[in-house]
């Protein structure tokens, strides 16, 4: 009799990058959660990227007035939640991983964090002025991405900020030359696929901010219903 093998949570590329295959489980593992910030941002490339991404995010939320009630979905270790909190918003963080939120609670004790899946959030319709979802959609297949977008739209009164991994010509050539997935994520999209997701979720693009174009595929989008 053969023992069934579990699909891997992540795969390591030959360049030493980790491509997450099962985002709903990978970051529930305590060492992955505890090591997330250090592994992702504690080097020159990570610091540069983080600065550019947070600059793009700050531009995306510019139109929101302080005091707004904001949900940070897939909040992870609370990096974006802390940024929103310090910008004067009333923030709630939500994630499937208790291990990630344990780090988030240490980072910003005054923000409430609760467990929830972005495709089935534990909040009534239109309960937030705005929702953010950073660092998740590029790990989800098309079906999950659209379910997540619809759910974010359901709980938001209209303002939705998400991040995509969106491939331009530079990334496509790099992937073709190196054979490595762009941005070390499983589901980066081309521009046409992104537009298809938005149509299927019934959302409209309001504005877009690239984090470190053309070197990064990271794209911050402001969407409306």
Ligand X SMILES: C[S@@+](CC[C@H](N)C(=O)[O-])C[C@H]1O[C@@H](n2cnc3c(N)ncnc32)[C@H](O)[C@@H]1O
Nearer to ligand X, 28 or 157 (CB): 28
The residue among 144 and 206 lying less far from ligand X, judged by its C-beta, is 144
Long-range contacts of range 167-176, CB-CB < 8 Å, 24 or more positions apart? 167/217, 168/213, 168/214, 168/217, 169/214, 170/214, 170/215, 171/214, 171/217
Buried residues in 180-214 as b, exposed as e (16+ CB within 10 A): ebbbbbbbbbeeebbeebbeebebeeeebbbbbbe
Does position 194 interact with ligand X (CB under 6 A)? The reply is: no
Which listed residue (100, 166, 189, 219) binds ligand X by CB under 6 A? 100
134 binds ligand X (CB under 6 A): yes
Report if residue 97 touches ligand X, rule: CB under 6 A. Answer: yes
Q: Are 223 and 203 in contact (CB under 8 A)?
A: yes
Closest-approach residue to ligand X (CB): 76
For residue 128, how far is the Cα from the chain centroid? 18
Instruction: Write the binding mask 152 to 191 for ligand X: x where contact by CB under 6 A, - elsewhere.
Output: ----------------------------------------
130 contacts ligand X (rule: CB under 6 A): no
Binding interface with ligand X (CB under 6 A): 23-24, 27, 74-76, 79-80, 95-97, 100, 117-119, 134-136
């Amino acid at each position: 009799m053969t023992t069934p093998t579990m699909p891997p949570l992540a795969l390591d590329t030959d360049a030493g990058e980790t491509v997450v295959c099962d985002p709903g489980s990978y970051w529930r593992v305590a060492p992955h959660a505890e090591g997330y910030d250090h592994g992702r941002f504690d080097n020159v490339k990570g610091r540069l990227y983080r600065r550019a991404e947070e600059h793009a995010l700050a531009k995306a939320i510019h139109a929101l007035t302080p005091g707004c009630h904001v949900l940070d979905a897939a909040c992870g270790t609370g990096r974006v939640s802390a940024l929103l909190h310090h910008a004067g918003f009333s923030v709630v963080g939500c994630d499937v991983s208790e291990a990630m939120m344990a780090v988030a609670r240490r980072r910003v004790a005054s923000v409430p964090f609760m467990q929830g899946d972005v495709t089935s959030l534990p909040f009534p319709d239109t309960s937030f002025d705005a929702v953010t979802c950073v660092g998740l959609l590029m790990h989800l297949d098309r079906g999950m991405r659209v379910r997540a977008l619809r759910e974010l739209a359901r709980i938001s009164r209209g303002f939705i900020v998400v991040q995509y991994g969106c491939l331009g010509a530079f990334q496509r050539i790099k992937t073709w030359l190196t054979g490595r997935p762009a941005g070390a994520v499983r589901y980066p999209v081309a521009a046409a696929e992104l537009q298809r997701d938005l149509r299927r979720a019934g959302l409209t693009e309001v504005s877009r901010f690239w984090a470190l174009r053309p070197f990064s595929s990271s794209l911050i989008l402001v969407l409306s219903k």
